[in-house]
Structure 1
Amino acid sequence: MPGVIVNRYEHTPETKEDLDWAELITLDLSLYEQAGGKEELVKQLEHAVRNVGFFYVKGFNISQEEVDRQFALGRAFYDLPLEEKLKFHNEADLTRGEYNGYRPAGRRVVANNVKDNVEVYNIPKFDGFHNRQQPAILEENIKEIEEFSRKCHDEVVVKLLRLFAILLELPDEDQLVKDHQYDVVGEDHLRYMHYAARSAEDNAKVADLYTPGHTDLGTVTLLFRQPVAALQILNSEGQWKWVKPQDGTITINTCDALTALTGGLIKSSIHRVHGPPADQAHVDRLGVLYFARPNNHVVLDPIQNSPLLNRLGLTTNVFTELGQHLTTEQWVKVRQTQQQRPTKTIKVTETGKWEYGEKDLEIIPGLQATIHH
């Protein structure tokens, strides 16, 4: 019996509104193999990762056709009836910090009794340790999905890890690569993410936010270009700026695990998802992302053999200052448990202040998640 035909994905037109766009650098990874190319890229990268934690990459050896196929597969999954998608949802798994598979919208309250409008489908990396049943539409294309997942790692993540190693003056350019091996057990995953358009009334109740400001918990996140404007970053001056979709690029943000490994040198970027501008407010927003994380056994203490970190005295982090020496596996579990915990008590006051319940933000004793609005 032939499989379901996945139609070509056509991107929504970009907004015509004059938004306050962030000024971000673009790293051309085609320079990577050229003489002196890596060193030149590190010079461009340093300011971005120490101050903002966001930048674009281009020249990454993944074609637009391959990217669009992932958007098409994500759309095909979300077009399935809810009862079919719910076959790949396990509430007990989410409660204990397991996040692969399907997460329906509406599990969490954003604020003022308005539920979240986000559906998530996570596909773990193909390392042999995360075997899961997939919906037929994805299972029929699983080899293509695996190839794309591996390209995200090999063509983008590995190259960035070597640039970070040069920045940190590590004696082995592959030191971070060895801690992020694709075929060693880890929590990397590919994500299809769907934001349903909301009514203006509900948006007003949550200060026009789909997702409040937060940081990601891994090493780097790859966000493939999609044209519905919604992503905003908090810049070094404390201003929220829109992230413009740039043709032929991936938007990269640096994350908590990398911040921990570098004693705070590399900034874990603060970002949020805002309601789209008026000319896109009626459009559902589909995202394709890849989340890279250190292998599960890696202890998230500051790197000891970095001459740069030692010169700057960056030898502790938020974990070690609490007497904790968390592995990636432990960190992902406690952070995801906090993130997936259903919330019912969040309010936005008339003055714009956000109020959370007592345990909403606790990750471990002594460490609270920070939410930015």
Structure 2
Amino acid sequence: MPGKILDRYDHVPVTKENLDWAELITLDLGTYEQPGGKEKLVKQLDHAVRHVGFFYVKNFNISQEDVDRQFALGREFYALPLEEKLKYHNADDLARGEYNGYRPAGHRILGDGVKDNVQVYNIPKFDGYHERQQPPVLSDNIAEIEAFSRKCHTEVVEKLLRLFAILLELPDEDQLVRDHKYDIKGEDHLRYMHYAARSAAENEKVGGLYSPGHTDLGSVTLLFRQPVAALQILNSDGDWKWVRPQDGTITINTCDALTALTGGLIKSSIHRVHTPPADQAHVDRLGVLYFARPNNHVILNPIKNSPLLNRLGLTQNVFTELGQHLTTEQWVKARQTQQQRRHEDVKVSKDGKYTYGEKTLEIIPGLEAKIYN
């Protein structure tokens, strides 16, 4: 049942500019339970996850009303005074790789002295291991937030994991689902994310970017329809393409942990957040996202019982080549610790190339994060 009554969330109009949009497939999850439906979806998915790492899903059994309630909750949280939001922020926790709760804008230097313009509020999944105090506007609606979080997992994540298992020819299509159980300790989380509009002068200093090109660290990321155009993906030809907001869809991207488990078969999508087009550049951008990750105990080695991976010789990944056999918990902590570094020595050239200082991008010895410009 809905908690506190909130004003309706009204999405801003989409851009009227003629942008260079990415061509992405849309999976109709309404066909998932039909005879042969999963196999048809896998055929449709195959190229997208191997070469692009981005696609849409529709008919995912979460109503637009429920989605808009989450946008409204995010709006209400970010409307709180900064001093109230800071009660849920701990800089020392961030430095240790603990990312749940609030991160204010300006925590990091994006480049050339310009601070980042993004606020983040992460709500961990409700697995009983991440009890946290929430601000009243969220705690008053916590049952609704939990129901939404669980639906993201069961209605979207688990279905995609079964499709991936069929693609990998695993003997049991629930094998990956068992490695991503909602009620087992893990680092999945729901996120409200707020990008504040910046001046043209500041945007120019950082190459027109809100966030440089990167990959996500988990299994899949769900981005609910966001009408402020800003997300861009790097396609297989090396070109940045805009991701179009499509009605009634979730944008999905595949991520590092899934790449590790599949020996590189499933691509970790490369994406960035660009300054919105001119007719939206003045608009703050609010996002609702769900990040799914393997359970904390799962070792991120390539899956051994995949006939497909074995036929292709995909039996190593970037961790095992270094002699590392990281659990998800170890990987998340290492990657988040790297991501939260203050980046005070980042330089941006006039053509938008980012240069980072020594050790800034090191995740573990021998492995650095990649930033794509």
TM-score with structure 1 setting the length? 0.99
In the TM superposition, residue 352 of structure 1 has moved relative to its aligned partner by 3.7
Q: Paired residue for 1:251?
A: 251
In the TM superposition, residue 360 of structure 1 has moved relative to its aligned partner by 1.0
- What SS does the aligned partner of 1:278 have? coil
Q: Paired residue for 1:160?
A: 160
**Aligned residue-pair number:** 371
The residue identity in structure 2 corresponding to 1:150 is R
Q: Paired residue for 1:114?
A: 114
- What SS does the aligned partner of 2:120 have? strand
2:97 pairs with 1:94 = no
In the TM superposition, residue 4 of structure 1 has moved relative to its aligned partner by 6.0
In the TM superposition, residue 5 of structure 1 has moved relative to its aligned partner by 4.0
- Distance in 2, Cα, partners of 1:319 & 1:311: 21
In the TM superposition, residue 351 of structure 1 has moved relative to its aligned partner by 4.6
Q: How does 1:277-292 map to 2 (within 5 A)?
A: 277-292=277-292
Gaps of 5+ in 2: none
State the Cα deviation string for residues 56-84 of structure 1 (Å, max 9, x = none): 00010000000000000000000000000
Residues 30 and 88 of structure 1: CA distance in aligned 2, closer, same or farther (over 3 Å): same
Q: Paired residue for 2:55?
A: 55
Indicate conservation of the 8 Å contact 2:120/2:194, yes or no.
yes
2:325 pairs with 1:330 = no
Once superposed, what is the RMSD of the aligned Cα atoms? Answer: 0.8
2:71 pairs with 1:44 = no
Indicate conservation of the 8 Å contact 2:52/2:236, yes or no.
yes
- Structure 1 runs of 4+ aligned residues shifted over 4 Å read none
Q: Paired residue for 1:200?
A: 200
TM-score with structure 2 setting the length? 0.99
- Distance in 2, Cα, partners of 1:18 & 1:74: 29
State the Cα deviation string for residues 269-302 of structure 1 (Å, max 9, x = none): 0000000000000000000000000000000000
Indicate conservation of the 8 Å contact 2:206/2:352, yes or no.
no
2:60 pairs with 1:64 = no
State the Cα deviation string for residues 7-60 of structure 1 (Å, max 9, x = none): 110000000000000000000001000000000000000000000000000010
- Distance in 1, Cα, partners of 2:29 & 2:353: 42
Q: How does 1:2-13 map to 2 (within 5 A)?
A: 5-13=5-13
- What SS does the aligned partner of 1:287 have? strand
Identity %: 80
Q: Paired residue for 1:241?
A: 241
Larger mean Cα displacement after TM superposition, 301-310 or 106-115: 106-115
Residues 301 and 12 of structure 1: CA distance in aligned 2, closer, same or farther (over 3 Å): same
The residue identity in structure 1 corresponding to 2:230 is A
- What SS does the aligned partner of 1:280 have? coil
In the TM superposition, residue 141 of structure 1 has moved relative to its aligned partner by 0.2
Q: Paired residue for 1:150?
A: 150
The residue identity in structure 2 corresponding to 1:26 is T
- Distance in 2, Cα, partners of 1:96 & 1:351: 33
Q: Paired residue for 1:272?
A: 272
Q: Paired residue for 2:313?
A: 313
- Distance in 1, Cα, partners of 2:80 & 2:65: 23
- Distance in 2, Cα, partners of 1:17 & 1:238: 23
In the TM superposition, residue 359 of structure 1 has moved relative to its aligned partner by 1.4
